[in-house]
Amino acid sequence: MPYPPKDGGAMGIHIFTDGLLKAGNTVKVIAVNSPKLYTPLSQIPEAYKIETQFEAVEIDTRIKAKDAFLNLFTNQSYNVIRFDAEAMHQKLAEVLSKHFFDIVQLESIFMAPYIATIRKYSRAKIVLRAHNIEYKIWERLAANETNPLKKWYLHLLAKRLKEYELSMLNQYNGITYITQTEGEVLKNSGCKIPLCHIPFALDVKSKTPSNKAEEKWSVFSLAAMDWQPNLEGLQWFLDNVWQKVLAQMPQAKFYVAGRNMNSEWLQKKYPQVEMLGEIKNASEFIASKSVMVVPLFSGGGVRVKIIEGFAMQKAMVSTAIGAEGIEYQNGVHLLEANDSDMFANMVVELLTNDEKRKNIALNGRKLAEQHYDISEVVQRLTNFYQSLIAAKK
């Protein structure tokens, strides 16, 4: 669901939809309304519904123990089949049989089960906007898991998802990918259809850096708290890094914010740490704090909050995987750290060195303006779509 645009997936869909509309395109959005990110239609602005001819299909994508167990005796990807619902097939058949489209854009590999229905009812070119190389996320989760049984199951999920994801590579008319690394994976995996690098983008001009004073010695994380790589990284930071920061700066304070923070996380107790859960205004929250941390060791794609942090002119420390896919220079746009000692030292350095913190923050803002503004990126996407429409096949 594109509303509320508070996590990376929703933000990406919302921002690109808005960008395509402003570029003069006609857009219709059909969204999966799942329990995980369920949004009552009454909460979606009427203007948005009209502009995008918005419709939603309720699909129960929850992981169910019985279904997961029975899936073990098949060769299907459980990650994918949870999104394959007859109601969506029917909605696509209804819409595509009545209206003409040049492009049907699929948001992530999990919409690939609908290709046959789209082909049946439409001559539109089908484009996958690959949010990540999804199987890579599950391979990293499996590699980092210590429980033997869970590790085996994660490996199985990764294996089946990889088989499905790679088997579908040439079933589209084109693929847009978010990072250059993902583009290389696609090319090396046998992708023969047109590809285009379309990074995550923001309306950078609307993200004006705040003139208000930052809270001194404050560190923050802003991430969806229902995504396993975020939970894994934050737990590592709390267990291995934060105490080392406090050993050098007892007055430092760490704020953890993000939607869908469960009661277990809200009740966690660490010195000088405040668990905030979902916040009303992300921009105000980011503006009020000094140093952002992105401690990720699995996952894929581009960390949306890093781009937003750049746009908001925030200095940050990230692991290499956290900043993967972003065209940054270590020490110029952000500080990269991959072990607990280095991560803690860099957080302290940014907290105590005002000049360095301000310079890195300013460089990040310039990077966002040059490479991640939505107007330039949408023009590139439009050009790609026009080339697909002009092609005979």
Which tens digit of pLDDT belongs to each residue from 99-158? 999 999 999 999 999 999 999 999 999 999 998 899 998 998 899 899 999 999 999 999
Q: Same domain, yes or no, for 152 and 252?
A: no
Cβ atoms within 10 Å, residue 147:
9
Query: Hey, which residues does 292 pair with through a beta bridge?
Result: 220, 316
Scan for tokens 């000692």, then name that residue: 341
Q: Same domain, yes or no, for 224 and 351?
A: yes
Q: Same domain, yes or no, for 197 and 221?
A: no
pTM: 0.78
pLDDT in tens, 240-274: 999 999 999 999 999 999 988 999 999 999 999 99
Residue 2 included in any domain? no
Q: Same domain, yes or no, for 219 and 115?
A: no
List the one residue out of 201, 178, 197 whose CA is nearest residue 302.
178
Which CATH number is 39's domain given?
A: 3.40.50.2000
Residue 109 included in any domain? yes
Written as one letter, the residue type at 63 is I
pLDDT in tens, 233-247: 999 999 999 999 999
Q: Same domain, yes or no, for 104 and 173?
A: yes
Q: Per-residue confidence at 393, pLDDT binned at 50, 70, 90?
A: low
Residue 274 included in any domain? yes
Q: Same domain, yes or no, for 155 and 223?
A: no
Q: Same domain, yes or no, for 230 and 119?
A: no
Residue 3 included in any domain? no
Q: Same domain, yes or no, for 149 and 295?
A: no
Q: Same domain, yes or no, for 189 and 111?
A: yes
Query: Hey, which residues does 164 pair with through a beta bridge?
Result: none
Residue 1 included in any domain? no
Q: How many domains does the chain have?
A: 2
Two tokens at 161? 């998802």
User: ω before 35 within 30° of 0 (cis)?
Assistant: no
Percentage of residues of the chain with pLDDT beyond 70: 98
100: containing domain = 8-201+374-390
Cβ atoms within 10 Å, residue 117:
16
Q: Same domain, yes or no, for 258 and 328?
A: yes
